[in-house]
Amino acid sequence: MKRVLAAVLLGFGLTAGAVAVASVEDEIRARIQPVGEVCLQGEECGEAAAPAPAASSGPRSGAEVYDAVCMACHTTGAAGAPIIGDKAAWAPRIEQGMETLFTHALNGFNAMPAKGGCANCLDEEIKAAVEHMVSQSK
């Protein structure tokens, strides 16, 4: 009887131990699994692999572009940039005409890089920002 009882207890102990080891191994696998995967163009990697691009609501206004890009230099005068609202600084520039101002803003002029450094700005957004600064500086 003692032998049977010992065999039964030993059997339960081994089974419980095997289940515990399997559980620990599953936990380890879960902790070390990759966070993500690389999906190359042309491969089918699932729906979540390529998020849909955000819908654009159209070009930003001149004020929005000014606030996001231009104000860094045109509120401080950095690198000789004319400060918005400074009529004396803007007058000779405005006299050259809007096309010249657009060309300088789009292609860069003196210390200002092309598009003021905003590589993702549309030409029309840069022109709107120039018009905004001119309207505030007349």
Chain-centre distance of CA 65, in angstroms? 16
**pLDDT tens-digit series, residues 82-96:** 999 999 999 999 999
Q: Is 107 part of any domain? A: yes
Q: What is the CATH number of the domain that holds 92?
A: 1.10.760.10
> How is residue 132 written in tokens?
């905004």
Instruction: Give the tokens for residue 82.
Output: 């004319």
Domain count, the chain: 1
Residue 52's pLDDT is 55
Select the more confidently predicted residue: 107 or 52: 107
Q: What range does the domain containing 74 cover? A: 62-136
Name the pTM for this structure: 0.60
Distance CA 16, CA 38 (A): 39
User: Is 74 part of any domain?
Assistant: yes
Cα separation, 82 vs 137, in Å, equals 10
Does the residue 87 lie in any domain?
yes
Is 131:59 a contact under the CB 8 Å cutoff? Answer: no
What's residue 15's pLDDT? 55
Is residue 8 one of the residues assigned to a domain? no
Is it the case that residue 80 has pLDDT exceeding 70? yes
Q: What is the pLDDT of residue 134?
A: 95
